[in-house]
Structure 1
Amino acid sequence: MKTPADSRARRRLITLIATGTALVVLVAFGVYGLLTGPAKPSSEPSPPAPSGPAVPAPGAWPTPMQPTAPVVRGSRDPQTFAGNVALALFTWDTTTGLMPLDYTSALLDVGDPTGQEQAGLAADIATYLPTRETWIDLRKYATTQTLTIDSIRVADSWAEAVDQAYPGQLPPGAVAYTIHGTRQRDGIWNGAPTSAEREVSFTVFIACPPGKDCYLLRLSGLDNPLE
């Protein structure tokens, strides 16, 4: 005769067997999955992608244009190089994001390679360019500046200066070009374009060693050229 305790034990055994069977099935499917790899995609067509504008992948966004630093064109021809220096000295644009220091750096890049004249040259250039504060004010009016060269020639008094120089005072190929030209500034004033012209003169002191590119030594004061 079965007691109530026997019935409870039988039901517990059946439950354990059912649980054990489920665990065996799960383990079997797990091993099968490891052996066969991921399930193959369904042959049914995938739902269409939502319509809308394409979104660039991370890192694919276009970068804003960066201002291009000015460059003084090199040359082994003294007159050509002096003209290039003059144009670089007077050509600037306050709307590009560049600052006076960028234009100064471009001229110093073609300066005396020994570095002896760099400090003096930097001081010379500073007298030609607007200060940082003035530059910021000029930017409000989209001010630009250019130079038209009217004449460029070796200063008449340069030969005398060479004769008076002591040995080794001047580097090989040193020469001074005096330049006369017209400086023009353009901008916007009260919503309308405006411009102003001014005659300028100055001297560019350069050196052109044989077989090498010329380099910039110093500049005279504005409107105080070597004649």
Structure 2
Amino acid sequence: MKTTPASWSRGRLIAVIAAGLVLLILIGVGVYGLITGPRPAGDPNPAPAPTVTEPGESETGRPGPPRVMPSNDPDEFARNVAEVLFAWDTGSGLMPLDYSAAILEVGDPSGHEQAGLASDIAGYLPTREAWIELRKYATTQHLTIESSFVPEAWGQAVEQAQPGQLPAGATAVTIEGTRHREGVWNGEPVTSEHSVSFTVFLACPPPAPEFRSGLCHVLRLSQLDNPLR
């Protein structure tokens, strides 16, 4: 790191520190990928494309997980995504990848953010090994949403972005709620509750054929319990 010249004013130093903190925040919640944009053409190490099944049908042919209801309203769409993201049933015969598919189906239609989004979703779902263990206890989960809002830090993120770096209609909605889990232990029903918070980064572009007639789509998700404020 370069030594700060003594001639720099206190105000300039504070501005540099503030800019650095904003960058750290962006990296921490996963929106940094949106600011930097997609990988350039010809990248020798492109991120692998996720392999998923179509929502509504699992790999076993059984009924699939709930679909995300489409919307052109950012807050409503973010809530729809959040509810489906947390809604799973280990006794359904489905696996975590089946539930991932339901979110990826409403992901970035350009495909630029799909690999990153798949990685984000994996952080919210049990691993395959954990899923098999939870299945022994007939574990199910759902989310009760208590609040949703556009975080103030999103305005800072937009200010940091260069023209054209964010997709058309991009925004962020932070969700706060309670995760509910239910299962069976030694033949008795058991439940648990845990407060959660996270940010859904999405875009609701103007109507156009390439943007699914103006419907919103998911770009990325923050780390669980590390939302943008």
Q: Residue 218 of structure 2 corresponds to which residue in structure 1?
A: 216
Task: Look up the SS of the partner of 1:157 in the other structure.
Answer: helix
Partner of 2:94: 98
Corresponding residue number in structure 2 for 1:80 = 76
Whether 2:104 is the aligned partner of 1:147: answer no
Give the deviation of 1:157 after TM superposition.
Answer: 1.0
Q: In the alignment, is the contact (CA less than 8 A) between 2:64 and 2:98 conserved in 1?
A: no
**1:173 corresponds to which residue?**
169
Residue pair 2:96, 2:128 contacting (<8 A) in 1 also? yes
Larger RCO: Structure 1 or Structure 2 (Cα < 8 Å, ≥ 6 residues apart)? 2
Matching of residues 28-107 of structure 1 within 5 Å: 66-107=62-103
> Letter of the aligned partner of 1:92 in structure 2?
W
Look up the equivalent residue of 1:98 and give its one-letter code. L
Q: In the TM superposition, what is the alpha-carbon distance from 1:69 to its structure 2 partner?
A: 3.5
Corresponding residue number in structure 2 for 1:195: 191
Question: Which one-letter code corresponds to 2:222 in the other structure?
Answer: S
Q: Given the alignment of the two structures, is residue 225 of structure 1 paired with residue 221 of structure 2, yes or no?
A: no
Unmatched tracts of structure 1, length 5 or more: 1-64
Q: Secondary structure at the match of 1:82?
A: helix
Residue 194 (structure 1) shift:
0.3
**Is the counterpart of residue 113 in structure 1 residue 129 in structure 2?**
no
Is 1:159 the counterpart of 2:161? The answer is: no
1:122 aligned onto 2:118: yes
Q: CA deviation at 1:142?
A: 0.4
Q: Tell me, yes or no, if the aligned pair for 1:70 and 1:102 is still in contact at 8 Å.
A: no
Q: TM-score, normalised by structure 1?
A: 0.70
User: CA separation of 1:87/1:121 partners in 2, compared to 1, >3 Å: closer, same or farther?
Assistant: same
Size of the alignment, in residue pairs? 163
Please say which structure displays the higher CA radius of gyration.
1
In the alignment, structure 1 residue 137 sits paired with structure 2 residue 121: no
* Cα shift at 1:114: 0.5
How far 1:70 moved relative to its partner? 2.7
**With structure 2 as the length reference, what TM-score do the two structures score?**
0.70
Q: Deviations over 1:108-138 (max 9, x none)?
A: 1100001000110000000000001110111
Query: Structure 1: how far apart are the matches of 2:64 and 2:97?
Result: 13
Q: Distance in 1 between matches of 2:223 and 2:101?
A: 19
Describe the SS at the equivalent of 2:152. Answer: coil
Offset of residue 188 of structure 1: 0.2
1:156 shift after superposition? 1.0
Gaps of 5+ in 2: 1-60, 208-213
By how many angstroms is 1:210 displaced? 1.5
Moved more, 171-180 or 67-76: 67-76
Q: What secondary structure, in the 3-state scheme, does the structure 2 residue paired with 1:121 have? A: helix
Structure 1 stretches of 4+ with a deviation exceeding 3 A read: none
Q: Distance in 2 between matches of 1:130 and 1:150?
A: 23
CA distance in structure 2 between the partners assigned to 1:86 and 1:159 by the alignment: 22
1:68 positional shift: 3.0
